[in-house]
Amino acid sequence: MKYIASLILAIFIIQSSQAQGPPITGDKAIMLGEGTIIAKTLTRIIHTDQGNYTHAPFMFHYLPKSNMLFALHIPYASSPEESGLGDITARMKYQVYRKDKRGKSHRIAFKSVHWFPTGFDSGIPDISIDEYQTLFSVISGYETLKHGIGTEVGYRYIGGGFPDFWVVNLGFGLPLLKQVYPVNQLNLYFEYDSEWFSNGEKNIFYAQGIQYAKKRITLDLAIQFPLVRNELAAARREYTLFLGARYSY
């Protein structure tokens, strides 16, 4: 009986984490099972007073264990003046805490991201700047069958004279359909992303997103607006559009 109860709990947790999917603009501490391979993309189109900037990466994720993830992102990037290969990134995520209850799960993970100067200088670190960058952060995620809450706090170092900044993100996920298996879910996301620079400036963004998950495929759409903008930035952001797709196997 104890084994059966544990199995039912595991199925609920797996269904919840797959159905709700990862946040659109943020990251997630809850990961899929050992041996999972994920192919995904998340195109970011930034509309500014200087024109449009685009970042369209191919992302390859692999989980050698259920608590560890390695990823490689190879992006196409464009600015009003130039386009081509952007800064390639490698990342690793390691889950250090996990507590599961019936229909609920809380996880904490450490994350590191490293950007390599393989692209051109667009003037925007999220697009391509041809400089080394490094991010170390802590991600926390709490999910139930009815909602999800995620946070990320970290520090991002940027070379080439760009100011470093603290990353502080907060997101809420709301599944709109009843949990079923195979997965068929529609989710709303409410996400706040902020950057607190060492020179005293800051960016605070709000994104409204919608996500559809069907079996192993997830589709994302979100629009992000600035609530507070860095007045020293080279380009003034008006809004950002996110278009994403994911396939796991």
**Statement: residue 6 has pLDDT above 80:** no
Tokens at residue 135, please? Answer: 């991010």
CA distances from 152 to 25, 45, 74 (A): 11, 23, 23
Give the CATH superfamily of 2-248: monomeric porin ompg (2.40.160.40)
- Is residue 235 very low, low, confident or very high in pLDDT (cuts 50, 70, 90)? confident
Over range 55-66, report the average pLDDT.
97
Q: Which position has the higher pLDDT, 67 or 13?
A: 67
Token pair in block for residue 137: 């952060």
Res. 116: pLDDT tops 90? yes
Rounded to an integer, the average pLDDT of 222-245 is: 92
Question: Is the Cα dihedral 203, 54, 222, 113 positive or negative?
Answer: negative
**Pair of tokens at residue 99:** 């507590």
Query: What tokens does 94 get?
Result: 């390691």
- What pLDDT, on a 0 to 100 scale, did the predictor assign at position 5? 41
Return d(Cα 217, Cα 229) in angstroms, integer. Answer: 34
Beta strand pairing call for 217-228 and 237-248: antiparallel
Per-residue confidence at 20, pLDDT binned at 50, 70, 90? low
100 vs 127: CA distance, rounded Å: 37
Residue 162 contacts by C-beta under 8 Å, 6 or more apart in sequence? 125, 129, 131
pLDDT per residue as tens digits for the range 140-166: 999 988 899 999 999 999 998 889 999
Q: Are 12 and 100 in contact (CB under 8 A)?
A: no
What CA–CA distance (Å, rounded) separates 37 from 29?
A: 17
Domain positions in the chain: 2-248
Q: What is the pLDDT of residue 19?
A: 44
pLDDT per position as a tens digit, 180-217? 888 899 999 999 999 999 888 999 999 999 999 999 99
pLDDT over 60 at 121, yes or no: yes
What does the DSSP assignment read for the chain? -HHHHHHHHHHHHHHHHHHH---SSS--S----TT-EEEEEEEEEEEETTEEEEEEEEEEEEEEETTEEEEEEEEEEE-SS-EEE---EEEEEEEEEEEEETTEEEEEEEEEEEE-S-S---SBTTTB-SS-EEEEEEEEEEEESS-EEEEEEEEEEE-TTPPPEEEEEEEEEEE-S---SS-EEEEEEEEEEEEEETTS-EEEEEEEEEEEEETTEEEEEEEEEEEE--TT-SS-EEEEEEEEEEEE-
